[in-house]
A and B are shown apart, each in its own frame.
Chain A
Amino acid sequence: MNVPPVTHISYLMFVLAGMLLGPTIFFIVRARRGKLPTIRRIPGIDAIDEGIGRATELGRPIVFTTGLTGLSPLLYAILGILKHIGRLAARMGTRIIVPQNDYEVMPIVEGVLREAHRDEGKLEQFNPEDIRFLSTTQFAFASGYMGIVHREQAATCFLFGNFAAESLILAEAGQQVGAMQVAGTINSEQVPYFITSCDYTLIGEEVYAAGAYLSQDPNQLGGLRGQDVAKMGALATIVLGLALGLGFTLARGDSTEGVRYNSPFTNVLYAKPSPRRCIARFEAGIPFRASVPPEWDELNPDPADVADDLAEASAGAAVSLWRLASALRAQEEWLAASREAITSDAGRRAVDDLQTYLAEAAATAEKERDEFERLRSSYAGFEERLGAVEAASFKARWTARAGGIAAWAGEYGTDRERASAAAAAAALGALSAGASDDQLDAAVESVRAAFEDACDKYVDIMSERKAKFDEMADADTYPAGRGPLRFDASSSVDGDGDRLVYGWGFGDEAEEGDPERTPAPSASHAYEKNGTYRVTLLVSDKRESETVQAAPPPAKDSAIWRRETAAGTELKLSWPMPADADAETASVTWDFGDGATAEGLTASHTYEEAGWYAMTARATYDVVESSEAAAGARAGAAVEVEDALQDVRDDLADAMKLIEKRVERVQARNGKLVGLLGGARGMLPDGVDGSEELVAWLDGEAERGGKIAAWLDELTSRVAKLRATSEAFGAAPVEDEEAAAEGEGAEARRTKVEKRSKVVWTVEEEHTHTVTKSVTVEDAADDVPAPWSYKPEKDAAAEGGGE
């Protein structure tokens, strides 16, 4: 940016200053030396005295206003008038009221009036309350002025100064009360209003003249004369400039539109001293002078001006650069000084102080940070609680599945599956640890992936069913006469782990039709003739029959099993009777779940269709207890029993104490947990995704907590009962001898027992797979080594040889 180096200084400014200020100063000096100028009479100014006289005659006050005039030369001109009026009023004993609009003007006005009264020796008449501040806003001021004029019934109103739209309101107020009004303003727009409403109006510079006229002060009179001369000079300049400009324009034949800009005088006056010259002058110490007009040719308005302008602009740019360079120099010096200051001792101390301060500030910041951390962690406590609840929910949902995954992985899994199960377990651990949302998401994702992986694997495993010859190539050649060949199919697979049966076809006349099925996975066969044979292996999970024992363990009255079988397999069922049972009294009823029933200790049944069947077996029989054995046992054990009882009592007492303590602790913990769950339930917002599930879980947990509490109560009461019983037992021990005596001679005791067993049968379709292979038997040289898969069985060979 090229800042013009010269702002207002121009030849025009010098000319104007000289022309306007010169005469003023000259005539002031002249007047002070006694040569006072004469001033023509101005009717408006004469009317001022008349107005004061009128007010005095009517005995009503004078109202004087300076309008909206602020601190300005105009105010001082008005103050001259005011002082004159004030003195006359003081002399006549007439009250003068001055409503005020400007708080800065107010004290000045007051001072002037006070001095006017003092000058007349009537200071006691001066009433400061008559200089009233009304408002700085024009209409509020006008309103107040109207009120004063009306209330005080002003005889004369003087309005001098700056006025705006309120001028007519002020003037009409005086008009309404019939006051004589003298106005004076330099605001030409308001002059017509004053002319229509006031008796006399001073226009423009007459306001300035009035003070001089009234005071006859040589300074003011000289100034007045000087300004007139200046005005005439200015007018003459205007006329001269106009004439010259017009003349030159006409001489050059230009359009009159461009008079001002084509005049060479304009160029002279408006030309700014060249910046280069300014700098040169300053540097040379030459003061500014208004003279030295540039050469005529240079100023002639021709294209050369453009070059001048360019030169000026480039000079301006140069100055800017120069200034920039100076600023940079100053900056460098400052930097150097700063560097010096910093490296000095005082500077070092200052730096040390600064560092200390920074360290302290850092410590304070650290403290504040800790405090903040504390607050944050206390808030995080809440979040953690919520997170724990959520995590628990996740955990509850996934635990069952992960259990399945782990089981499958353990049962079928390769290392990879086990690893994935471990990952799932780790993920579950993360879930239960109340991890962050991201971690939870990752964990859930990991569990899901592991689950799916395991499912895939499971499906693969379950669907893998194949018959397979072990360790035999597809087409093998075997030497003849080496005994029967042994075939092994033990690596055949059934995905769901059913027990398999195998059927063999050896491809010669010995076997025709459907092969017999056998649970043995291997078979031997001797070929009598050389040739190529087609060996068929059939693997099936359907067995001809299956023997099942269905009974609950002796201690239990009922039990449930899950068993699997294939459709068409004959189940051979039996109820095993315990040794002390009386088989003759036994009665077993079978309900196979598919509508068929049977009775008897043994039964057989075949499920023809695949599906689920719940088979129920009910057995009743008598258990016979030998009386001698019972009595002997009782007698022999009496002492031991007593000792043991004492031990048991002691243990029981300890255990009860322990249980009570534990119950107490668990109760407290449970109560807290229930409270926590309730709290979490309360904290949960409504209508959030997945919140129903969480709410349900929370409610379930709370219910469980309630149950636990009830159970704990029951436990407490049971323990109390137990203690009471134990104490009673301890107080009155059993009379073993008597009991033993009673036992002697007693008859064998029969007890009727009823037991029930339920088996849920999963009946699958038969899965059959067949595989064939070719076997060639031929004569071979002795030196042919036995193939690695060739497994002669000596026993079988002996049998085969027997054939």
Chain B
Amino acid sequence: MRRTIIAAITFLGGIYFFLEFLLPKYIFVGDSVIEFGKYDNTISTIVRVVFAVGLGLGVINILRVYGTRIIKKRKGWGYSVVLIASMVITVVAGLWQHYSTSVGMKNFFWQFLFQGIYNNLGSAMFSLLAFFIAGAAYRAFRLQNLEAGLMMFAAVLVMFGQIPIGFFLYSEMPTIRVWLLRNIGSPAYRGILFGAMIAGLSMAVRMWLSLERTSFGERQ
């Protein structure tokens, strides 16, 4: 029963969006007009409500998972305290920003959290990427087999095409780089994307028709 209801709702929702995309906004039949896009807002609202419930579930989940860790004093429970405290502080800061009438302090907490802490930590993580790229490049450029050799050759050409010294060594280097990216790299990317998108479409059809039951628990 539960599965039938979910399948029915999924199918109806799918067909609505399918037709909404395909059919004209207004369809004239005799003197009357069928306005297909009329229900867009209603349905968007329903979707938003469902997402909001998902957000609520997420918060409950966090409290349950990390709260249990704190209560049972599991290993590393201090981090869980930090996590929950951060969540509460952020919520309070957000509410403060929304409801405060104080001119000077209205945005203070929020900006402190966002610009003072969050952005800097994010930037710190992002900067790690530079070192990781260097490490990964080192591993990638070990000539272990033919594929790695081809990859390294192409990479060297692209790198030299990018940097000034490449142009200094051979003036056509940037052209080679562009040719490689445009005529070798891009078609490969497009091929990957093409396959993935068709696969996604096929997956979407299976989901729409409720043939994909991974998440509904098909027992064996």
Contact = CB atoms under 8 A, between A and B. Distances in A.
A278 B65 CA distance: 57
Contacts of A25: 205, 209
Interface in B24-62: 24-31, 33, 51, 54-55, 57-59, 61-62
Contacts of B193: 186, 188, 204
B103 interface: no
- Interface of chain A: mostly helix, strand, loop or mixed: helix
Contact of A76 (B194, B203, B219, B220): B203
Nearest to A203: B192
A20 B198 CA distance: 7
A188 B189 contact: yes
Contact of A279 (B28, B51, B61, B206): B28
B138 to A, nearest CB: 9
A282 B28 contact: yes
A593 to B, nearest CB: 78
Given A115-B217, A323-B33, A77 B199 contact: yes
B214 interface: yes
Given A119-B219, A186-B196, A322 B28 contact: yes
B25 A139 contact: no
Contacts of A6: 24
- Interface of chain B: mostly helix, strand, loop or mixed: helix
Contact of A139 (B28, B65, B122, B220): B122
Contacts of A204: 191-193, 195-196, 199
B122 to A, nearest CB: 4
Given A205-B198, A227-B198, A128 B65 contact: yes
Contacts of A215: 214
A107 B195 contact: no
Interface string A102-146: 011011101110010011000000001101110001011011000
Contacts of B64: 128
Nearest to B193: A188
B178 interface: no
Contacts of A76: 203, 206-207, 212, 214-215
B137 A196 contact: yes
A142 B198 contact: no
Interface residues of A, number: 86
Nearest to B127: A139
Contact of A77 (B23, B191, B203): B203
A108 B195 CA distance: 26
A121 B15 CA distance: 38
Interface stretch (B91-99, B128-136, B159-167, B169-177): B128-136
B24 A278 contact: yes
Contact of B136 (A21, A197, A226, A282): A197
B9 interface: no
A74 B68 contact: no
A118 B209 CA distance: 26
Contact of A106 (B23, B28, B58, B202): B58
B69 interface: yes
Interface in A27-79: 28, 72-74, 76-77, 79
B139 A196 contact: yes
Contacts of A646: none
Interface stretch (A206-214, A505-513, A722-730): A206-214
Contacts of A108: 215
Interface stretch (A216-224, A401-409, A429-437): A216-224
B22 interface: yes
B6 to A, nearest CB: 12
Interface in B72-96: 74, 76
A195 B137 CA distance: 11
Contacts of B207: 73, 76
Nearest to B65: A129
Nearest to B33: A326
B213 to A, nearest CB: 8
Contacts, number: 210
A223 B207 CA distance: 11
Interface in A173-212: 175, 186, 188-189, 191-193, 195-197, 203-205, 207-209, 211
Most buried by A among B26, B62, B209: B26
Most buried by A among B23, B76, B198: B198
B69 A172 contact: no
Interface residues of B, number: 68
A139 B196 contact: no
Contact of B201 (A20, A104, A118, A168): A20
A319 B33 CA distance: 11
B202 to A, nearest CB: 4
Contacts of A4: 24
Contact of A283 (B28, B128, B201): B28
B200 to A, nearest CB: 5
Interface string A457-475: 0000000000000000000
A70 to B, nearest CB: 10
Interface stretch (A7-15, A261-269, A296-304): A7-15
A693 B218 CA distance: 99
A118 B217 CA distance: 10
Contacts of A131: 65
A5 interface: yes
Given A21-B201, A103-B55, A168-B133, A326 B128 contact: no
A223 B203 contact: yes
B125 interface: yes
A169 B27 contact: no
A190 to B, nearest CB: 11
Given A168-B129, A220-B212, A231-B194, A107 B61 contact: yes
A769 B108 CA distance: 95
Contacts of A103: 54-55, 57-59, 61
A6 B26 CA distance: 8
B143 interface: no
Contacts of B219: 115, 118-119
Nearest to A168: B132
B8 interface: no
B28 A211 contact: no
Nearest to B23: A9
Contacts of B68: 129
B184 interface: no
B206 A28 contact: yes
Contact of B214 (A79, A142, A205): A79
Most buried by A among B33, B209, B217: B217
A465 to B, nearest CB: 79
B1 to A, nearest CB: 17
Contact of A205 (B189, B196, B217): B196
A319 B28 contact: yes
Contacts of B139: 196-197
B121 interface: yes
Interface in B118-163: 118, 121-122, 125-126, 128-129, 132-133, 135-137, 139-140
Given A129-B68, A133-B62, A227-B202, A13 B22 contact: yes
Given A76-B214, A204-B195, 15 more contacts: A20-B198, A28-B206, A104-B55, A112-B215, A118-B219, A129-B65, A140-B121, A142-B125, A189-B189, A207-B199, A209-B199, A224-B202, A227-B202, A282-B28, A326-B31
22 contacts: A4-B24, A9-B22, A9-B23, A28-B206, A76-B212, A80-B212, A80-B214, A103-B54, A103-B55, A103-B58, A108-B215, A110-B61, A128-B64, A140-B118, A186-B192, A188-B193, A197-B136, A217-B213, A223-B205, A223-B206, A234-B194, A283-B30
Interface of A: 3-9, 13, 20-21, 24-25, 28, 72-74, 76-77, 79-80, 83, 103-104, 106-108, 110-112, 115, 118-119, 128-129, 131-133, 137, 139-140, 142-143, 151, 165-166, 168-169, 171-172, 175, 186, 188-189, 191-193, 195-197, 203-205, 207-209, 211, 215, 217, 219-220, 223-224, 226-227, 230-231, 234, 278-279, 282-283, 319, 322-323, 326, 329
A-B pairs, 7 with minimum CB distance: A103-B58, A208-B199, A73-B203, A205-B195, A227-B202, A139-B125, A204-B192
